[in-house]
C-alpha cells in the first residue's frame, strides 16, 4: 500500500511533518513496514482542506496531527492490517 502525504506549503503549515511522523510511528507499532510505503507529494491540490493524503490513489483531506491516529486506523490499518 502506498501512502502519500502532501508536504506543500499549506499542508506543511497545517502539520504535515507531524502527520508523517505519527504515521511512521504507527506503521512500526503495527509491524506494517513490509506492507505500507510512506511517501511525500509536493501538492495534492486541496490546499484549503488541511493536510491531504493519498492512500493507494484515494484522496483523504482534513488530516491533522490530532486526528492522524484515527485516520491511520480507519484508512490504512483496516486495509493493510
Which percentage of the chain shows pLDDT scores above 90? 89
Sign of CA dihedral 68, 72, 8, 58: negative
**Res. 47 pLDDT band, cuts 50 70 90:** confident
pTM above 0.85, yes or no: yes
pLDDT at 81 over 80: no
Number of independent structural domains in the chain: 1
Determine the pLDDT at residue 56.
97
Q: What is the pLDDT of residue 71?
A: 98
| Domain span at 41 | 2-80
**pLDDT at residue number 34:** 97
23: domain CATH number is: 3.40.30.10
Amino acid at each position: 500500500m502506498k501512502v502519500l502525504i502532501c508536504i506543500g506549503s499549506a499542508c506543511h503549515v497545517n502539520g504535515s511533518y507531524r502527520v508523517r511522523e505519527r504515521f511512521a510511528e504507527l506503521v512500526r507499532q503495527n509491524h506494517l513496514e513490509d506492507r505500507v510505503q510512506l511517501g511525500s507529494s509536493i501538492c495534492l491540490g486541496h490546499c484549503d482542506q488541511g493536510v491531504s493524503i493519498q492512500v493507494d490513489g484515494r484522496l483523504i483531506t482534513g488530516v491533522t496531527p490530532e486526528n492522524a491516529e484515527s485516520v491511520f486506523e480507519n484508512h490504512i490499518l483496516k486495509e493493510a492490517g
